Structure 1
């Protein structure tokens, strides 16, 4: 079965309690359960870290193990050249995900360092953004 890594960055461990007016009341455990129920064609692995280097290590470790990555890099989206370089290095398809519509928020959130090395970006649909990303990577991989 095709394996996909769903990788979550800083503060996503606080989903459900952190700014629910922006990010909703769904927890990260809820997101994982929703994804597992939706992605019957995939073997899903989930990781979350608040540390940039740990996220990079997960991206590097995905090469040869996973067919693709769904990445919510959180605030690192707007700051991390290192994550961008890691994604480019492993040559795996990446779908960038955000719960909120980053283009309708503060100006600094409009710039993504992930987008240039991602297959595409899904944002603004809350927890459903992950399900849309699963569908997108399934289509991209032609599964």
Structure 2
């Protein structure tokens, strides 16, 4: 994955720590539909891409992935006191991950939901899932959502979350000052 240079004007120079969580089935990245998932060859390549983008943005990215809900729950519980926000691709937990959603909500930190595909698109849509749309159990408590843009969903969500963390009027002064 080639690096791209970009400029984003931030209102803070704070080096936020953003946790990026990839759920079940993301370990199969590179073996999945190129139409939906693009040319990313592996989960490690995706992690490196997001980490490098974060460095350019001036934030630290901590990646975590698991095919097991319990491991994801433990990570959220362990990380909540030290991270500034989360990006999560719930993947295989999108419709059934209530425990993970609750854990994220309990942190009271901002959460961006990300998906390679447009999970709301109907069957046959260009960036939709083969079986048609699904309803995420995460969306109604997420701070925001980016989907349908392959790995660019992560980059857009990371940019939006960083700018929101910098903006005291968006997330509240307590979060922006911490």
- With normalisation by structure 2, the TM-score equals 0.74
Match of 1:122 in 2: 146
- Counterpart-to-counterpart distance in 2, 1:102 and 1:70: 16
- Counterpart-to-counterpart distance in 1, 2:51 and 2:38: 20
RMSD between aligned residues: 1.5
Residue range with higher mean Cα deviation, 93-102 or 57-66 = 57-66
Aligned residue pair count: 142
Give the 3-state SS of the residue equivalent to 2:101 in structure 1.
helix
Give 2:66's match in structure 1, choosing from 49, 53, 77.
49
Give the 3-state SS of the residue equivalent to 1:103 in structure 2.
coil
Larger RCO, structure (CA 8 Å, separation 6 or more): 1
Give 1:62's match in structure 2, choosing from 51, 69, 79.
79
Between Structure 1 and Structure 2, the one with more helix by share is: 1
Give the 3-state SS of the residue equivalent to 2:112 in structure 1.
strand
Deviation at 1:134, TM superposition (A): 0.7
- With normalisation by structure 1, the TM-score equals 0.91
Give 1:73's match in structure 2, choosing from 85, 90, 93.
90
Give the 3-state SS of the residue equivalent to 1:4 in structure 2.
strand
Deviation at 1:19, TM superposition (A): 2.6
Contact 2:119–2:133 under 8 Å retained in 1: no
Give 2:136's match in structure 1, choosing from 109, 112, 118.
112
Contact 1:78–1:108 under 8 Å retained in 2: no
Which ranges in structure 2 are unaligned for 5 or more consecutive residues?
1-14, 122-128, 168-178
Deviation at 1:75, TM superposition (A): 2.1
Which structure: larger Rg? 2
Match of 1:36 in 2: 51
Contact 1:15–1:24 under 8 Å retained in 2: no
Give 1:19's match in structure 2, choosing from 15, 29, 33.
33
Between Structure 1 and Structure 2, the one with more strand by share is: 1
Deviation at 1:33, TM superposition (A): 1.9
Deviation at 1:29, TM superposition (A): 1.8
Give the 3-state SS of the residue equivalent to 1:131 in structure 2.
helix
Which ranges in structure 1 are unaligned for 5 or more consecutive residues?
none
Are 2:21 and 1:7 equivalent residues in the alignment?
A: yes
Deviation at 1:102, TM superposition (A): 0.4
Deviation at 1:76, TM superposition (A): 0.6
Deviation at 1:22, TM superposition (A): 2.4
